[in-house]
Amino acid sequence: MINTDLSKGYVDIPFEGSDVREEIERLKKEQNAVVLAHYYAEPEIQDIADFVGDSLALAQWAKKTSADVIVMCGVHFMGETAKILCPDRKVLVPDLNAGCSLADSCDAEAFGEFVRNNPDHTVISYVNTTAAVKFHTDIVVTSSNARQIVESLPAEEKIIFGPDRNLGNYINSITGRSMRLWDGACHVHEKFSLEKILDLKKQYPDAKVLAHPECKKVILTVADHIGSTAALLNFAVNDDASTFIVATESGILHEMQKKCPQKTFIPAPPMDSTCACNECNFMRLNTLQKLYNTLRYELPEIQVDENIRERAKLPIERMLEISAELGL
């Protein structure tokens, strides 16, 4: 009997065939499964996925797919978002340990209290949150649409924004709003070194700096372009510069390099150069072996409590509706 025990958070059965990629393709067809991957996933995962995108695109794809099985090669909240939108589908993740330090920086109970203490505020939550935090939310945003969604609200509207303080401060600075912020952050984006980026700028004076808005303000100050992973990729494709220093998780360099083989992309270094801190250890838990087992055994599956799902769906749907109206 095969042991599909999930005590490790994933099915730990060694692959014994000869070609794991071929087997993944076969299983995708057999199960009518779609594999979605975030730009931060390992290059080999991105290459085998049916769609690669940013958080907004992954939610949009999950909502429109006709596949019976959705495999989310991202992190847990991305799988949860897909399940919230598609309760009748099987949503699988290769490894349940793929969490998110930013989502973890926002405890749902404490966030609920923050909301209750600010009763006259509209609650905006970044998609990098658990379903339980989305339960307390009026509108979800991603870094692709946060600015436009905030600007779509009346100027006098009082807003709570959580959990990313860097994204929240950035949105406040470009919209002139004064949203009340939750004090959370991502461990990858907080670690980029300004000194090392400036050293690289000396070495490559024509290079442009691309930064994700989850980075600290000092990094955003030296950025030529700030945006979501998809926006940074788009900028790199369309801009005339030939060299870019990229201050976000380094997985995005794979798609940048694929789309622009003639350009040079340099990952922004973290403060501690002895670690690979510009890699999200959670995203990197998704491997071909685990993806194979996920498809083969249809495990681990994302489950969301139905009461939470019904309520958490509202702010996600609202985000998707506003994004569609805005053409995002």
The residues of the shown chain that bind ligand 13P, judged by CB under 6 A, are 54-55, 128, 142-144, 186, 212, 214, 228-229
User: Are 124 and 138 within 8 A, CB to CB?
Assistant: yes
Provide the minimum distance between the beta carbon of 54 and ligand 13P in the complex, in angstroms, as a whole number.
3
Among ligand 13P, ligand SF4, none, the one that 193 touches (CB under a kind-dependent 5 to 8 A) is: none
Closer residue to ligand SF4 in complex, CB, 102/160: 102
Provide the minimum distance between the beta carbon of 31 and ligand SF4 in the complex, in angstroms, as a whole number.
26
Provide the minimum distance between the beta carbon of 283 and ligand SF4 in the complex, in angstroms, as a whole number.
6
Give the residue from 304, 277, 243, 311 showing the smallest Cα distance to 77.
Answer: 304
Provide the minimum distance between the beta carbon of 182 and ligand 13P in the complex, in angstroms, as a whole number.
16
Determine the Cα–Cα distance for residues 183 and 173; give it in Å rounded to an integer.
16
Closer residue to ligand SF4 in complex, CB, 91/280: 280
User: Are 58 and 142 within 8 A, CB to CB?
Assistant: no
Total residue length of the chain: 328
Among ligand 13P, ligand SF4, none, the one that 54 touches (CB under a kind-dependent 5 to 8 A) is: ligand 13P
Closer residue to ligand SF4 in complex, CB, 239/279: 279
Residue 282 region, left (φ>0) first, then alpha (ψ -120 to 50), else beta?
alpha
Closer residue to ligand SF4 in complex, CB, 153/291: 291
Q: Give the footprint of ligand SF4 on this chain (CB under 6 A).
A: 40, 75, 100-102, 128, 186-188, 249, 280, 282-283
Q: Residue 161 carries which DSSP code?
A: E
The 3-state secondary structure of 42-80 reads: CHHHHHHCCEEECHHHHHHHHHHCCCCEEEEECCHHHHH
Closer residue to ligand 13P in complex, CB, 184/295: 184
Provide the minimum distance between the beta carbon of 36 and ligand 13P in the complex, in angstroms, as a whole number.
12
Determine the Cα–Cα distance for residues 45 and 39; give it in Å rounded to an integer.
10
- H/E segment holding residue 226: strand 225-226
Residue type, position 303, single letter: Q
